[in-house]
């Protein structure tokens, strides 16, 4: 049977010239087999609902590039004929009805701005079932059919629960300086934070060299060492103490045993904030007690790492991801985070993005070790 012999028709399940294929029994089996094989496609088509209006919010810690993402989502949606509503202060805005219609002008002149024009919050009420029910009712009352959530680990966890509970299409964008979401090479804000760290360490190096001191510089990252490790390489630091390998070796002991000051009078060590590393203060205390020959100082970079105008990398990443979020919704994707892996847009299921640990590239550790002699 070639394609010309068999085509769909209204007289039966299929209209076929060949007698064998004309029998109703045969046609029914073909239909059932086709349905079983392509069930996911049939299911998807059944579930598809037209998306006329989307809501957009930023949640959790702000990150440079969030505004570029808001702009990209808004403009791509409007370009595709979809209405946009900006939700202020993250999930809290859904509970308190801080919802405003966004036109293209609402997102003019924001691509270069740090922070988020939508404001952000960490909302405890949204962690409760009643809170999410209220949020859903407000969202529906505002005519919102789908959500785009820009945020980190906690925000996407909230999105996953909300989407499952109320069967809402939600697309996540990875917005966090920590770079700790699985499935994307980098997150929005990470590159800017990394550059800020590099500039700060460059400055601290001047005083460290002049006074011949050992400096522990604590950087953000929650429980991930991406900022510390890559920041150390970019700034030419001697070492990075990161949570990913803190349970394997005593990194401080290793640093001292490697004779880190053999060829230098000053040293800079980047420390990732985390209970696992203990943080810069605890390490400095250890040095004071165990290696009193070193004059040690601590600098905690803190929230200045979250501010500032986004780098070109973050603006481009946020723009691509924002546009891809609308493509994803139009393709009836849901419960996925947009990622960029090997320069390609990818859809990462929330469960993977949140739950799977993003591994540190061990080659970077080796590079840092070799270059710090």
Which residues form the interface with ligand F6P (CB under 6 A)?
Answer: 61, 152, 176-178, 220-222, 273, 306
Closest separation in Å from C-beta 66 to ligand F6P: 12
Rounded to whole angstroms, the Cα distance separating 345 from 343 reads: 7
Least gap, CB of 305 to ligand F6P (angstroms): 7
CB of 45 to ligand F6P, least distance (A): 38
Q: Which is nearer to ligand F6P, 169 or 221 (CB)?
A: 221
SS3 state of residue 78? helix
Q: Which of 62, 178, 180, 314 is catalytic?
A: 178
Write out the two tokens for 252. Answer: 């401080």
Q: Which CB, 16 or 301, lies closer to ligand F6P?
A: 301
Q: Which of 60, 46, 128 is nearest to 90 (CA)?
A: 60
The residue written with tokens 């040293």 in the block is 267
**Residue 240, helix vs strand vs coil:** strand
> Going along 166-251, which residue ranges are E strands?
170-174, 214-219, 239-241
CB nearer ligand F6P, residue 306 or residue 315: 306
Pick 145 or 244: Cβ nearer ligand F6P: 244
Measuring CA to CA, which residue among 52, 133, 139 is closest to residue 93? 139
Nearer to ligand F6P, 139 or 194 (CB): 194
**Is 191 labeled as catalytic in the residue annotation?**
no
Smaller CB distance to ligand F6P: residue 102 or 126? 126
User: For the packed helices 312-330 and 66-79, what is the interaxial angle rounded to 10 degrees?
Assistant: 40
Are the beta carbons of 234 and 194 closer than 8 angstroms? Answer: yes
User: What minimum distance in Å lies between the beta carbon of 214 and ligand F6P?
Assistant: 24
To the nearest whole angstrom, how small is the minimum distance from the Cβ of residue 154 to ligand F6P? 8
Strands, sheet with 53-58, edge to edge from the N-terminal-most edge strand: 99-102, 83-87, 53-58, 146-151, 170-174, 336-341, 344-349
In angstroms, the CA 11 to CA 30 distance is 16
- We find the least distance from the C-beta atom of residue 171 to ligand F6P, in angstroms, to be 20
Q: What is the C-alpha separation between 158 and 153, in angstroms, rounded?
A: 9
Which segments within the chain are labelled E, that is strand?
6-7, 15-16, 53-58, 83-87, 99-102, 146-151, 170-174, 214-219, 239-241, 267-272, 296-300, 336-341, 344-349
Enzyme catalytic residues: 178
């Amino acid at each position: 049977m070639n394609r010309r012999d068999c085509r769909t028709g209204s007289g039966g399940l299929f209209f076929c010239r060949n007698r064998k294929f004309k029998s109703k029994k045969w046609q029914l089996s073909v239909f059932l087999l086709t349905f079983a094989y392509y069930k996911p496609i049939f299911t998807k088509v059944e579930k598809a609902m037209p998306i006329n209006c989307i809501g957009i919010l930023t949640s959790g810690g702000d990150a440079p590039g969030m505004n570029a993402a808001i702009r990209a989502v808004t403009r791509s949606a409007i370009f595709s004929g979809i209405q946009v509503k900006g939700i202020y202060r993250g999930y809290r805005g859904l509970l308190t009805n801080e919802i405003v219609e966004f036109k293209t002008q609402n997102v003019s002149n924001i691509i270069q701005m740090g922070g988020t024009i939508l404001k952000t919050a960490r909302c405890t009420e949204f962690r409760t079932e009643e809170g999410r029910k209220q949020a859903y009712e407000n969202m529906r009352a505002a005519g919102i059919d789908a959500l785009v959530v820009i945020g980190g680990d906690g925000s996407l966890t909230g999105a996953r629960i909300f989407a499952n509970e109320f069967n809402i299409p939600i697309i996540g964008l990875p917005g966090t300086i920590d770079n700790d979401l699985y499935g994307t090479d980098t997150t929005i804000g990470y590159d800017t934070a990394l550059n800020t760290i590099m500039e700060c360490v460059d400055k601290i190096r001047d005083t460290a060299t002049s006074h011949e001191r050992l400096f522990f510089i604590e950087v953000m990252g929650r429980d991930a060492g991406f900022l510390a490790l890559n920041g150390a390489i970019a700034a030419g630091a001697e070492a990075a103490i990161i949570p990913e390998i803190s349970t394997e070796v005593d990194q401080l002991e290793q640093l001292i045993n490697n004779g880190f000051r053999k060829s230098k009078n000053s040293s800079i060590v980047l420390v990732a904030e985390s209970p696992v590393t203990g943080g810069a203060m605890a390490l400095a205390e250890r040095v004071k007690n165990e290696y009193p020959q070193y004059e040690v100082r601590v600098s905690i970079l803190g929230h200045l790492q979250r501010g500032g105008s986004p780098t070109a990398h973050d603006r481009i990443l946020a723009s691509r991801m924002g546009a891809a979020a609308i493509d994803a919704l139009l393709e009836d994707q849901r419960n996925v985070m947009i990622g960029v892996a090997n320069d390609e847009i990818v859809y990462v299921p929330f469960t993977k993005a949140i739950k799977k640990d993003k591994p540190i590239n061990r080659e970077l550790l080796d590079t840092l070790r070799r270059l710090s002699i």
